[in-house]
Amino acid sequence: MSSSSQPPSPTQLPPSSSPTTSNSNSDNDTSTPPPLIPAVLILFTQITSFTLSLITLSSVTFLLLLSGLFVLPISRPAHSRIISSIQSLLLSSLSLSLPSTPLHLTNHSSPLGNIGRNIVVCNFTSCRDVFLLLILIRYLVGSEVRVLGNFQQKNPTDVNDGNKYFSKEYYLGVLSYLLDLPLLSPTRQEMTKTLDGLPADVTLLIFPEGLNRPPPSLEKHYASTSNRKTFTNLGLPRTKGFNTLMSILHSSPSSSIYSLTLCTSSLLRRTFSWSETLHDVKQLLRGQAKTEILVDIKNFTLETGARTNFLDDRWADKDRFITKYLRGEIREYRTFDSRYYNVLTGLISLGRLTAILVTSPIIVLCVFPIGWCTVWFYILREVFRMYLGDRRRSLNRRETEEIQGYEDEDRTRSTRTESNFTPYFPSTPFASPLSLGGWGRKETKEE
């Protein structure tokens, strides 16, 4: 970590994450073409990072399909453990493709805790920024991070829009079911069930703002009818499921809530666009993302988070902080160099994902013949028990009866032979041969 000077405006981002560059050097660099060897190295780095990202995403997709088809119908806890391990491997391996993304943290930010179920409330900007935020939180906390999603649309303006949002919710619901993505629910019973399925120490990441911002006229109308304030750079936060979550975690002593403000260049976009987001993700995977990310973290207790106007107050603070960021008034922060972040763990995770991607088709090809043979063996066993089981049982019963008859005859024969033998002669005078009348009478008769 190192302190930096005033960050540049989001419209004029630096070409690299180097802390200091002079104007004369930058002019000379732009006037003269780059040498051949650095250009080849840059091209090799971009191709390598894109190839590694492609291998990682394909292996993760294949693992998710296998787990969703074969593990999820049998055991949901086992599927959750598989998803958690895949998530950690994915974040560790994809962190290798972030060499040009500086991560800044303000000096007055609170440290994130890794004990208990902590909640991080953040504003939503872009899918790429969410990915960077997951890596940053994993770097700061070091524990498991889960995203609590809320994909429902409140007020569709048209019937066709309602059908479109319904189909989108259906597909996102299926995706969240396969990915084991917990959803915010307004009912206490469903939220309790969701929290019971999560680990004891986990960081819950929540984006109450949502993906799509409504038009300004509708947002102002909704704010006026509900006595809420509108914001310049952010949309109105949705409290659906958040208040229920606060009421459930109210009795947990080790839990806390963090308000995280995320500042990137995508804040200049007033609407969410999938094309721009996909372009940003493609640049990120190719190692060409020049965007910086600035994060501010504030800690609050659960009692403060349980208030009704908690999200509105936090969003007002976020709006003021983002306004200062856009003006370039934030000068004190710490920089995390993502170039050397978790390189060894990322390489190991990438190797594990590659090995899984290579061995998974072989395992699948072996599973089907083994399963087919097992099914036929079970069918033949049941047929044998159905048609030949009674006959075998009768034969066994007849054999046991014959054996018992032989044992009874041997037992009676042994008792007859034992009665003709001389009785036991004790060594005590209390049972002398003279006291046994039968034996004494036999001796007198023989004499």
Region 199-225: mean pLDDT is: 72
pLDDT band at 112 (very low <50, low <70, confident <90, very high): confident
Residue 34 has pLDDT above 60, yes or no: no
Looking at the structure, tell me whether residues 391 and 360 fall in a common domain. Answer: yes
Buried-exposed string 289-301: b where 16+ CB fall within 10 A, e elsewhere: bebbbbbbbbebe
Residues 238 and 298 in one domain: yes
**pLDDT for the residue 276:** 56
pLDDT > 80? residue 323:
yes
Residues 206 and 264 in one domain: yes
- Asked whether the beta carbons of 94 and 281 are under 8 A apart, the reply is no
Q: Is the pLDDT of residue 165 over 50?
A: no
pLDDT tens for 64-73 read 777 777 777 7
Domain with 106, as residue range(s), is: 100-149+184-341
Asked, for residue 407, whether it belongs to a domain, the answer is no
Residue 373 to residue 363: CA distance in whole angstroms:
15
Are 332 and 364 part of one and the same domain?
no
Statement to judge: residues 281 and 376 lie in one domain = no
Q: What is the arithmetic mean of pLDDT over 237-263?
A: 79
Residues 134 and 109 in one domain: yes
Cα dihedral 390, 394, 399, 404, rounded to 10, equals 120
Main-chain dihedrals φ then ψ at residue 74, nearest 5 degrees: -95, -50
Range with lowest mean pLDDT among 275-279, 298-302, 398-402: 275-279
Average of pLDDT values for 201-214? 72
- Amino acid type, 420: N
pLDDT of residue 8: 38
In a shared domain, residues 298 and 325 = yes
Number of domains composing the chain:
2
Decide if 440 is inside a domain: no
Q: Are residues 78 and 45 in the same domain?
A: yes
**Band of the pLDDT at 426, cuts 50, 70, 90?**
low
Asked if residue 262 is part of any domain, the answer here is: yes
Q: In the listed set 274, 309, 341, which residue is the last one of a domain according to the structure?
A: 341
Residues 248, 363 share a domain: no
Domain boundary residue, one of 341, 360, 376: 341
434 occurs within a structural domain: no
Closest to 325 (Cα-Cα) out of 106, 170, 120, 142: 106
Same domain, 53 and 144: no
Identify the pLDDT of residue 434.
52
Per-residue model confidence (pLDDT) at position 245: 81
Higher pLDDT, 225 or 325: 325
53 in any annotated domain: yes
Q: Which residues contact 208 (CB under 8 A, 6 or more apart)?
A: 121, 150, 237, 238, 239, 242, 311
Structure confidence at residue 275 as a pLDDT band (50, 70, 90): low
431 falls within a domain: no
Give the residue carrying structure tokens 């009768």.
394
Average pLDDT over the chain reads 65
Single-letter amino acid code for the residue at 27: D
Residues 78 and 120 in one domain: no
Residues 325 and 289 in one domain: yes
Sign of the torsion formed by the C-alpha atoms of 297, 301, 305 and 307: negative
The residue from 341, 375, 408 where one domain ends is 341
- 351 in a structural domain: yes
Whole-number pLDDT of residue 160: 40
Residue count of the chain: 447
Please report whether residue 419 resides in a domain: no
